[in-house]
């Protein structure tokens, strides 16, 4: 009989005695797995091979699992330290035992939460006891980790479930197809098979020469296993930012734009932030080395801002009575918040005077010399916004947030009274993380004070906010660590698959 080349290769490589997995056939024939699968299905249709399918589970250690396999489970290390402190006879002080165990940070909590559960002893009133009969050597979780760290595997069961729950192992499922020669296949092979020329792809040559009319085309098998092709996609944060802009434009806002590196005057002084405010020191701020100062500031505005800082505003104004220095205000830094755009716009500097009612926003980067952690990056996107109108109240502010966040399916925003030098009253906003259930801070807001607005020449109310785009993305995508989204530690798998919905 005549068969296409790839089918012959599979037929000749498959065995009648045992089923061979597609991967092994692919390696032996030097064909891609999807070609082997396709050929196998074709051969099955001819009755020449049998294709069996099974789902394989592979269990592998996570990074944390590997660490414990190497250094011991935290609860076991705690138990060993407790024994050393004689806690099998008399309760020993927790602090000392933890110190001796060498456990640090999150590992301490992990040890404590598993210690009693696994019968290693008890913890009460700052003291720890160790059950003398406990047997770490028989710890099923530890044994399973050891197995996995070696070549071993782990059967389904409670231990596997528990390790998975603790995030120490990952279970991946894959479909394995195995091919075995049938009797008919053996017979045909012995009778001899010849290569039938088939064409896998139409080419321009085939079309122009007209040969396409005579050749035999190979059939496509759309169910064949194929390698996953990772295409490019818009970054989750970029997508999120576009969604936020859409929503705000839909709510009647116009977009603001302005410099990333700006004078402290626009970043801080115009916000009635005293020049000796702790956030203005170099710890929190990325100063510019070259150039160090802005060329120009509007003179009359500088004068009014300085007066507000020194004497306050209005009859009862007090001001800070602290030094105010124009040179200090002219120093350039990467903006620590995008509220610098709001001061530029409100003052008339950016696009001329703005008449109320007006609404403006930006979704732009801000830069802070913070310590990196699960909720902090050195540069992040702020969703800045303000509404200028007569007689605004906290209800307007809260209502605006409810309307905004509801468009992302977030309907349980919480508010906490807060302090900013430039708003009164002020509120922080919190949202509940969809998987951890933790409350995370998602923004800061308030109604701009007289001391800020008067020098800027604004005569009616302005309510304003700065919301964190990355935190909103954490709430909508379920990401638990902001570093998964952005930066050198970003989780590519997550970025490929995360969906931005609104």
Ligand X SMILES: N[C@@H](Cc1ccccc1)C(=O)O
- Chain residues binding ligand X by CB under 6 A are 337, 339, 420, 423, 444-446, 464-466
45 annotated binding-site participant: no
- Give the nearer residue to ligand X in terms of CB position, either 41 or 266: 266
User: How far apart are CB 83 and ligand X at their closest, in Å?
Assistant: 49
Measured distance CA(344)–CA(498) in Å, rounded: 36
Number of neighbours of residue 38 by Cβ within 10 angstroms: 26
* Residue nearer to ligand X on the CB measure, 196 or 389: 389
Please tell me whether 135 is known to bind a ligand. no
> Is 127 one of the annotated binding-site residues?
no
What separation in angstroms does the CA of 283 have from each of 278, 287, 336, 502?
Answer: 9, 10, 12, 37
427 annotated to a ligand binding site: no
Nearer to ligand X, 258 or 446 (CB): 446
Q: Quote the least distance from Cβ 301 to ligand X, whole Å.
A: 19
The token duo for 7 is 């089918």
Residue 395 CB, shortest distance to ligand X, in Å, is 17
Contacts of 322 (CB under 8 A, 6+ apart): 274, 275, 276, 309, 310
CB 338, min distance to ligand X, A: 8
Closer of 20 and 342 to ligand X (Cβ): 342
Q: How far is the CB of 380 from ligand X (least distance, A)?
A: 10
The answer to whether 345 is a known ligand-binding residue is: no
Instruction: Compare residues 181 and 464 and give the one whose CB is closer to ligand X.
Output: 464
Tell me which residue has tokens 């970025």: 495
Say whether 384 counts as a known binding-site residue: yes
Return the residue nearest ligand X (CB atom). Answer: 466
Q: Is 355 annotated as a binding residue?
A: no
Q: Shortest distance, CB of residue 446 to ligand X, whole angstroms? A: 4
For residue 27, give the nearest of 47, 40, 10, 41 by alpha carbon.
Answer: 10
**Strand, helix or coil for residue 401:** helix
Toward ligand X, which CB reaches closer, 37 or 339? 339
Q: Which residues contact 171 (CB under 8 A, 6 or more apart)?
A: 57, 58, 59, 160, 164
Assess contact for 342 and 423: CB atoms under 8 A: no
Could you please report the per-residue DSSP string of 221-236? -TTS--PPP------H
C-beta closer to ligand X: residue 91 or 336: 336
DSSP 152-210: ----SSHHHHHHHHTTSEEEEEEEEEEEEE-HHHHHHHHH--EEPPEESS--HHHHHHS
Alpha-carbon span 158 to 383, nearest angstrom = 46
- Which single residue is written with the structure tokens 């310590």? 371
- In angstroms, the CA 312 to CA 13 distance is 89
Shortest reach from residue 263's CB to ligand X, in Å: 16
Minimum distance of ligand X from residue 444's CB (angstroms): 4
Nearer Cβ to ligand X (339/400): 339
Residue ranges for the known binding site for Mg(2+) are: 424
Residue ranges for the known binding site are: 339, 382-384, 422, 424, 448
Residue ranges for the known binding site for L-phenylalanine are: 339, 382-384, 422, 448
């Amino acid at each position: 009989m005549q068969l296409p080349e790839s089918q012959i290769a599979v037929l000749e490589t498959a065995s009648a005695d045992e089923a061979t997995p597609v991967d092994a056939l692919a390696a032996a024939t030097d064909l891609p797995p999807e070609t082997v699968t396709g050929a196998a299905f074709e051969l099955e249709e001819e009755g020449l091979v049998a294709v069996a399918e099974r789902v394989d589970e592979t269990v592998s250690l996570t990074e944390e699992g590997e660490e414990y396999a190497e250094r011991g489970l935290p609860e076991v290390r705690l138990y060993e330290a407790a024994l050393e402190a004689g806690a099998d006879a008399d309760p020993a002080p927790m602090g000392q035992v933890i110190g001796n165990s060498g456990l640090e940070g999150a590992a301490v909590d992990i040890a404590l939460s598993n210690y009693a559960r696994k019968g290693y002893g008890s913890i009460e009133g700052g003291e720890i006891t160790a059950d003398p009969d406990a047997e770490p050597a028989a710890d099923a979780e530890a044994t399973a980790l050891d197995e996995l760290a070696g070549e071993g595997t782990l059967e389904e069961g409670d231990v596997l479930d528990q390790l998975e729950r603790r995030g120490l192992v990952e279970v991946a499922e894959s479909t394995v197809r195995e091919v075995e020669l049938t009797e008919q296949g053996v017979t045909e092979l012995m009778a001899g098979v010849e290569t039938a020329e088939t064409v896998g792809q139409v080419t321009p040559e085939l079309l122009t020469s007209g040969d396409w009319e005579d050749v035999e085309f190979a059939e496509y098998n759309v169910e064949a296993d194929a390698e996953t092709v990772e295409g490019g996609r818009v970054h989750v944060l970029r997508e999120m930012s576009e969604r936020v802009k859409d929503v705000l434009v839909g709510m009647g806002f116009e977009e603001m734009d302005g410099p990333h590196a700006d004078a402290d005057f626009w970043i801080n002084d115009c916000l009635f932030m005293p020049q000796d405010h702790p956030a203005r020191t170099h710890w929190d701020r990325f100063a510019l080395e070259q150039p160090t100062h802005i060329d120009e500031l509007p003179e009359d505005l500088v004068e009014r801002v300085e007066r507000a800082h020194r004497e306050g505003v209005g009859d009862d104004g007090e001001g800070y009575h602290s030094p105010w220095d124009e040179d200090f205000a002219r120093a350039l830094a990467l903006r620590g918040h995008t509220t610098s755009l709001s001061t530029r716009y409100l003052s008339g500097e950016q696009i001329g005077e703005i008449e109320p009612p007006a609404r403006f926003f930006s979704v732009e980067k801000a830069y802070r010399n913070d310590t990196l952690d699960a909720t902090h990056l050195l540069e992040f996107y702020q969703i800045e916004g303000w509404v200028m109108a007569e007689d605004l109240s906290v209800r307007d502010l809260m209502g605006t947030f409810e309307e905004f966040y509801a468009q992302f399916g977030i309907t349980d925003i919480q508010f906490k009274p807060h302090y900013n030098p430039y708003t009164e009253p002020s509120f922080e906003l919190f949202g509940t993380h969809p998987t951890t259930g933790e409350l995370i801070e998602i923004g800061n807001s308030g109604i701009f004070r007289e001391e800020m607005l008067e020098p800027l020449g604004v005569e009616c109310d302005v309510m304003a906010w700065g919301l964190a785009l990355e935190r909103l993305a954490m709430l909508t995508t379920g990401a638990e660590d902001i570093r998964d989204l952005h930066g050198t530690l970003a989780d590519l798998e997550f970025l490929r698959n995360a969906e931005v919905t609104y």
